[in-house]
Structure 1
Amino acid sequence: MQTSRPQPAARPEWFRELSRFAKPDVHKSLWQLANTFIPYIALWVLMILTVQHGYHYGITLALAAIAGGLLVRIFIFFHDACHSSFFASAKANRILGYIAGVLTFTPFRDWQKSHLKHHGTAGDLDNRGSGDVWTMTVEEYESAPWTRRLAYRLYRNPLILFGLGPAYMFLVSNRIPHKHAGKKERRSVLITNISLLVLILVASWAIGFWTYVKIQIPVLLVAGTIGIWLFYVQHQFQGVYWARHEDRDQIKVALQGSSHYKLPAPLQWITGNIGLHHIHHMYPRIPNYNLQECYEAIKPLQEVPHLTLRKSFHCLRMRLWDEANQQLVGFSRAKKESEQGKPLRAG
């Protein structure tokens, strides 16, 4: 239970420079929509043709993998719309949010509320559970009943987290309003669900239900798996920052609690620069197309340690927060050190 309100963290001198990158550019916005939606639609046409003309389903799946990557990029636009950063117009952001939300099976207002709460509680040990990956401390895990420990181990299993997880989240969970959802959030879920039903009915009439399913499901699962992986490594890495509510420092949450995921150029394009997550948490109103420019212009942002693609897979072993030593540890290391009565070490 929180006992006091944390004092606002002192902003660094260079913080004010961030505001000049938080200005939406309609030309950049429209170009991003064109270079993403057009090839996405073209891939759908190609996939429909491969199914209807009896080509090997492997060809369809290969095209679906590419389309899934583009759907990740569309979700980044959706994400920017939730922060009112993609367009200067609130109405334009809302329209984009609902359209991209239908394509990604995600209700705009409902996800927006949950995500904005995530920004307000990221790195806060006393307020976990809002739009984040379930993370237990070592002490909580050791004192939990076996049923809860089993549930946590299953949840943290990569086959479930990145396999069944995307299917459950986008096909089931997103169909239901989040806890404490208000009228606008519930309405957005209803609008999205009705829109999806209409889309499925129209697609079934135009190309056939099973043709639609054979394309939509792999595209959505590829995008969902990539999306959940990105969200995982953004806040689950060695050196991450967590603190109790009264000690939480918002600047540290951004610079130490959010990763700089340095990806190869093609993957950085697909993921809409979201790997520069430390900048996003420092100043959420910066649109995705300005993040790289911001990074290159402000030297302190470049001094944040980066996470490479190869090193990011080691994050899968980090499953519990060792509060005493302020680090993430694995199940085996936590058990071993606990039995020996030694301080926990990473791994």
Structure 2
Amino acid sequence: MPRTAAWQLVTTFLPLLALLAAMQAGLALGWWWALVLGLPAAGLTVRVFALQHDCGHGSLFRTQRVNDLVGRICSLFTFTPYGHWRRQHAGHHAVWNDLDRRDRGTDIYSTCETVAEYRAMGRGRRRAYRILRHPLLMLLVFPPLVFLVLYRVPYDAPVGWGREHRSVHLTNLSLLASYGGFSALLGIWPVTAGVLAVMMPASIAGVWLFSVQHRFDGVHWARHAAWDRVAASLAGSSYLRLPAVLRWLTASLGFHHVHHLAPRIPNYLLEACHDAHPAFDTARVVTLRETFSALDHLLWDEEAGRMVTFKEAEEALPNDGLDGLRGGPSLLNRSVASSAAPHAGRFRRRLALGEARAALPDAPTALRQTCVTDGNSAT
């Protein structure tokens, strides 16, 4: 549906450009205008990123050429190199929730360590691991640095990724030309203030969204031999139930379980696909309130088959400190046994995955045929 995608661009970029222009005009009257207008502009920037994400999957428009053009335009607003991010994100889709194929370099907001791996660390490394994954750092400090600083270099990209390296450098040159030109006209400080007022909350919101879609109480991980795309989609990605306004700003990416099952489905059909097949009822629903507790579940307990917090993992350790590794598993099992009852619902939900797999024998193909009836957006 190219018209739907085009209308999404119009209804996203026109208000965003209007807000950015109003922000620059308001800054002449007072710096507080950046704060007032920065939040709604940040929300629209999150939506721009979601549209860029769809372009990277080749799902927003009919042809990849148009997707690439629109994706590169979006990158000037998201500060995210389109080609570099697209390839890294494709890697995420290939290995998510597979314990034997975890991306330990760039995917820190969706991957995890197991309890056994955490306990095998030395005391100093465990402390550093906990500090670096503290919500204040992970969600408030790191996101702006990722988008504004880290994305300026082709990090975690092998030398052979020549096209992705060029993507980073060309994006930097485009950003320098565009924002440098605006700075020459309007002044470097008003433009800098506008960028920070938008990108700081936008990056924080975007990283939060990505994190709670993959790490939450009730998510399921599997070893590679037992990994299954349907199971990983329905039990390894959340159905983030958001209010209507937030659902629009995030371009329906709360239906992340559908997206992981069939990435070529465009954002504007995700909800219809979710409603069309009863198998999606097995997906873990995460509410806006639950997202705050979801941020604490960072370790996968293979014995219990669930995500646990640092506190839960450490309570099961021997009394002689975090480095007393001997005898720990038995204590861990006792801790899990004592807390198994509240999680019985999650285990019953996982039992439904077999039924879901039977219902979706060829899920990606079947869903594309069902939900993208005109074939325009998925080819």
Structure-2-length-normalised TM-score: 0.82
Aligned match of 1:270: 249
5+ unaligned residues in a row in structure 2: which ranges?
Answer: 319-327, 344-379
Aligned match of 1:27: 3
Instruction: Please tell me whether the aligned partners of residues 297 and 307 of structure 2 are also in contact (alpha carbons under 8 angstroms).
Output: yes
Total equivalences in the alignment = 321
> Percent same amino acid among aligned pairs?
37
**Matched residue of 1:261: which SS?**
strand
Paired with 1:26 and 1:229, the residues of 2 have a C-alpha distance of: 30
Residue 314 (str. 1) matches residue 290 (str. 2): no
Residue 243 (str. 1) matches residue 204 (str. 2): no
> How is 1:75-114 mapped onto 2 (pairs within 5 angstroms)?
75-114=49-88
1:307-344 Cα deviation digits (max 9, x unpaired): 11011211122121111111111111111123271424
Residue 188 (str. 1) matches residue 161 (str. 2): no
For residue 132 of structure 1, report the CA deviation from its aligned partner: 4.4
Aligned match of 1:227: 206
Residue 38 (str. 1) matches residue 14 (str. 2): yes
**Matched residue of 2:149: which SS?**
helix
Paired with 1:127 and 1:342, the residues of 2 have a C-alpha distance of: 25
1:38-57 Cα deviation digits (max 9, x unpaired): 000000011001102x23x3
Q: 2:141 aligns with which of 157, 164, 178?
A: 164
Q: 2:156 aligns with which of 163, 174, 179?
A: 179
**Matched residue of 2:200: which SS?**
helix
Instruction: Please tell me whether the aligned partners of residues 219 and 284 of structure 2 are also in contact (alpha carbons under 8 angstroms).
Output: no
Q: Which stretch shifts more, 252-261 or 59-68?
A: 59-68
5+ unaligned residues in a row in structure 1: which ranges?
Answer: 1-24
Instruction: Please tell me whether the aligned partners of residues 117 and 131 of structure 1 are also in contact (alpha carbons under 8 angstroms).
Output: no
Paired with 2:283 and 2:225, the residues of 1 have a C-alpha distance of: 24
Instruction: Please tell me whether the aligned partners of residues 144 and 200 of structure 2 are also in contact (alpha carbons under 8 angstroms).
Output: yes
- Letter of the 2:20 partner, please give it: W
Paired with 1:305 and 1:173, the residues of 2 have a C-alpha distance of: 32
Alpha-carbon RMSD across the aligned residues, in angstroms, is 1.5
Paired with 1:271 and 1:100, the residues of 2 have a C-alpha distance of: 15
> How is 1:192-231 mapped onto 2 (pairs within 5 angstroms)?
192-231=171-210
Instruction: Please tell me whether the aligned partners of residues 98 and 107 of structure 1 are also in contact (alpha carbons under 8 angstroms).
Output: yes
Aligned match of 1:22: none
**Matched residue of 2:271: which SS?**
helix
Aligned match of 2:272: 293
1:110-154 Cα deviation digits (max 9, x unpaired): 101110010000001122125342511111111112332233112
Aligned match of 1:13: none
For residue 70 of structure 1, report the CA deviation from its aligned partner: 0.2
Runs of 4+ in 1 over 6 A off after TM superposition: none
Q: Which stretch shifts more, 255-264 or 233-242?
A: 233-242
